[in-house]
Each structure stands twice: as C-alpha cells, then as structure tokens.
C-alpha cells in the first residue's frame, strides 16, 4: 500500500472523533530499534505558528525511550478495527515484538517509523516536552483519579512536519 502526502489544512478529519473513536499508535525509532504504543489521549492544534500535535506518555512506557532518543515521532490511525490496540496497548515492547504479534509492517521514513497498515499518519518533530506538575491541577480530582501511582505523563509537543493518507 502507498501513502500520499497531504497538507494538514486540507484534511477533513475531525481530530476529536479520530482520536477518541479510533485511538492512535505513537511510534518512534529507526531500523536499529523502534517501539509503538496505543494512545487515546492527546490533542491537535496550532501553537507557536506551527501545526502541532501533543501526545502524553507515562515515564515507564518503553515507547518513551524511543521518543526521547529521536527527533521525530509518528501518530498513526487505523480506522475502527482496534485489534492492534489490543496488543500495542497491553504488552510492553521490552518483552514482546509487537510488530510481529500484530503483523504491522514498519515504514522507516522522515526520521521515524510508522506502519503500512495505517490510514492516516502525522510525522511530528519534537519541539517541547514537559512532565505534568501535580501542583498545576486546578481540578485536584484529576491527580487522585488518574495518578494514584504519581507516574505523571510527560507531554510531547511536536510540529507536524508531514501528514500522509493511505492511497
């Protein structure tokens, strides 16, 4: 299968629907090593005069190591079929070859990795990262509900440098 590059402003996708209904894979790495994980939290927007996407990763996630080591990461969407998310969201790449387990075929391009089966891909160049600070929660119930282990997410903002749609 092939992809075509599209301008972000020409996409007719609703980012709220795509992210909440389809979820996404966050991936990073290269031919010598990569990993991916399921994510259903994040956001898309315009910041610092750039089209941006933000994903959040907990510190213990293996994928975080690859996002930290590389300049770029990919956010990819696969439609309503969540079979890949059953694997990529429940096992660690430290212990399991998730590509082999899911049949995902890696595509190494643009300084990162995404997968041939994706229908939509955003290539993001890291421009900002920050750990959530519990002192900044205005709604303090979020801290107790989502962070009982105090493993606060790190937010990674990326400039969307390319977007691809499946042809």
Global pTM exceeds 0.75 = yes
Determine the Cα–Cα distance for residues 149 and 72; give it in Å rounded to an integer.
28
Position 26 scores a pLDDT of 98
CATH code where residue 17 lies? 2.30.110.10
For residue range 30-75, what is the model confidence (pLDDT) as tens digits?
Answer: 999 999 999 999 999 999 999 999 999 999 999 999 999 999 999 9
Rounded-to-integer distance, Cα 152 and Cα 59, Å: 7
Give the count of domains, the chain. 1
Average pLDDT over residues 100-116: 97
**CA–CA separation, 68 and 71 (whole Å):** 8
Q: Which residue from 76, 158, 160 is spatially nearest to 118, judged by alpha carbons?
A: 76
Three-class secondary structure of residue 38 per DSSP: strand
**Parallel, antiparallel, or unpaired: how do β-strands 3-6 and 106-109 relate?**
unpaired
Count how many residues are written for the chain: 167
Structural domain range at position 55: 3-166
**How does DSSP classify residue 1?**
-
Give the mean pLDDT of the chain. Answer: 96
pLDDT at 109 over 90: yes
Instruction: Compute the Cα dihedral for 96, 101, 104, 106 and give only its sign.
Output: positive
Question: Residue 28 — very low, low, confident or very high, per pLDDT cuts 50/70/90?
Answer: very high
Residue 81's pLDDT band (boundaries 50, 70, 90)?
A: confident
């Amino acid at each position: 299968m092939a992809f075509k590059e599209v301008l972000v402003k020409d996409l007719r996708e609703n980012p709220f629907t795509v992210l909440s209904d389809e979820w996404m894979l966050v991936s990073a790495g290269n031919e010598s090593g990569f990993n991916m994980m399921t994510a259903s939290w994040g956001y898309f927007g315009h910041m610092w005069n750039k089209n941006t996407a933000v994903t959040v990763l907990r510190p213990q996630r293996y994928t975080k190591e690859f996002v930290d080591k590389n300049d770029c990461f990919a956010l990819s969407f696969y439609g309503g079929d969540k079979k890949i998310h059953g694997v990529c969201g429940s096992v660690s790449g430290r212990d399991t070859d998730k590509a082999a387990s899911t049949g995902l075929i890696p595509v190494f391009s643009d300084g990162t990795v995404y997968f041939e089966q994706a229908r939509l891909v955003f290539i993001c160049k890291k421009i900002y990262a920050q750990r959530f600070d519990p002192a900044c929660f205005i709604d303090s119930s979020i801290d107790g509900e989502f962070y009982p282990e105090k493993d606060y997410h790190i937010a990674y903002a990326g400039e969307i440098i390319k977007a691809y749609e499946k042809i």
